[in-house]
Amino acid sequence: MIRIAVLLLFSFAFSVHAQSNDVTVPAVRVVRLQVEYRNASISDLQKIHKWNAIMRNSVLASLKFINKHWLICGGSPSDTPSFSNADCGKAQVTGEIVGGNHYRINVTLIAERDPVKNAKVEATSTVYAVAHIGLKGGIFQYTNALKVLGKPEPKLSFDEAFFCYRGATLVDTDKCRKDRRLRDSPLLDSVETPIPLDNLLAL
Ligand SMILES: *[C@@H]1O[C@H](CO)[C@@H](O)[C@H](O)[C@H]1NC(C)=O
Ligand SMILES: *[C@@H]1O[C@H](CO)[C@@H](O)[C@H](O)[C@H]1NC(C)=O
Q: Which domains does the chain have, with CATH numbers?
A: 25-163 (3.30.70)
The pTM (predicted TM-score) of the whole model is 0.75
Mean pLDDT (the chain, rounded): 81
Query: What one-letter code names the amino acid at 178?
Result: K
Closest ligand to C-alpha of residue 39 is 1
pLDDT digits (tens, 9 = 90+) for 18-39: 344 568 999 999 999 999 999 9
Whole-number Å distance, alpha carbon 34 to ligand 2 midpoint, is 9
Closest ligand 1 atom to the C-alpha of 39? Answer: 1
Predicted pLDDT at 69: 95
Q: Which of 41-45, 82-86, 107-111 has the lowest mean pLDDT?
A: 82-86
Please write the tens of the pLDDT for every residue from 24-78: 999 999 999 999 999 999 999 999 999 999 999 999 999 999 999 999 999 765 5
Output the CA–CA distances (angstroms, integers) from residue 136 to 131, 140, 152, 154, 184, in the order listed: 9, 9, 8, 7, 49
Ligand minimally distant from the alpha carbon of residue 98: 2
Which residue owns the Cα nearest ligand 1 atom 1? 39
DSSP string over 98-129: EETTEEEEEEEEEEPPSSEEBSSSS-EE-HHH
Q: What is the pLDDT of residue 202?
A: 47
